[in-house]
Each structure stands twice: as structure tokens, then as C-alpha cells.
Amino acid sequence: WRGEATACAVDGYVCLKQLKPPLKEKLLKLGLLPETFVQKWFAGVCIHHLPYRLLFPFLDGFFAHGNRFLFQFFLAFFDEFENDIMTANSNPEANALIRFESAPEPRLEAVVRSAWEEKYVQKVAAMNFHHERIIAFEENLSRRLQGANEGMWMKQDDEIEFSDEED
């Protein structure tokens, strides 16, 4: 699962880069990093978050177009809810929207429908995913993951005694 979570976070940063700069800055200012919600959207394909009547058209899009549809959904969501995010006063307020808890169902329905629109299809089709993923990983996750791994492996030698060690 660790690799899947990292891949989802990378894709979240790829998506984040596609947003308008003020919206991207607002999300970051609110502490809404992609790794805090993209796993639910991408790896979990919104199964626990979208109302069932919207989940099935969402899954139709995913099964028909794969990961590209997830990127289209991301872009459509933030187009639909841009003003809500820009006027959010706190992380919990914006986070409830992103978890679809406070997102009105008719607007979520509009997002699912509009994710199929040509403007999103073309925007995602024009992306060089390999290149964008490399950049997203290097700029956002590489140092953090390296630091976490180094910290995990650091042990005090004083606690381990080997039979071939001299006193």
C-alpha cells in the first residue's frame, strides 16, 4: 500500500499544478495537501464519499477512461467549487467540502457530468504524465520520503551487542 499512497500523492501534486495559481495557493494555505484527500478520490475511487446515485456514473467514467478520468474529475471539482474554496475560512470548512460532506449533491452531480466535457478531456490528454510525475515527486515528496526513511533506519548502536565485538 505504501507505494500506492505515494503514487496517489504524486498524481495529486500533478493535478494541483493544473489549478489556477490563486486556488492552488489557497489550498496550500489551508493545509489541504493532495496527500490528505487524493487517496480517497483516486485509490478509493470515491466509493466511500460519493452518494451512490453519483458513484455509478463516476465509476462508468473511471472504467471507460481509467486514471485520466480521475484527473478530469479533479479539475472539474475544483472548477465547480473554486469560489467555495477561495472563501473558506478554515481547513475544516474546506476539508468538509473536499470530503463531499458539505458539497451539495446537485453540484457534485454537475462535477461528475462535467468531468466528461471536452475541455477536461483535452486538457488531460495534453499532459505528459511521465514528465509531470517526475517533477511532482522531486518537488514535493522526494526529500520528505528520504528524510522519513533515514529517520526510520537510524538506530543507536549502543543497544545492539554482537558476539564478535570486543569489550
Q: At what angle do helices 2-18 and 21-29 cross, to 10 degrees?
A: 130
Question: Residue range 16-26: average pLDDT?
Answer: 95
pLDDT at 80 over 60: yes
pTM score over 0.85? no
User: Sign of the C-alpha dihedral, residues 86, 87, 90, 95?
Assistant: negative
How confident is the model over 103-131, as pLDDT tens digits?
999 999 999 999 999 999 999 999 898 88
pLDDT at 159 over 90: no
Average pLDDT, whole number, for the chain?
86
Percent share of the chain, pLDDT over 70:
81
pLDDT at 153 over 50: yes
pLDDT at 156 over 70: no
Q: How high is the pLDDT of residue 1? A: 44
**Whole-angstrom Cα distance, residue 133 to residue 59?**
24
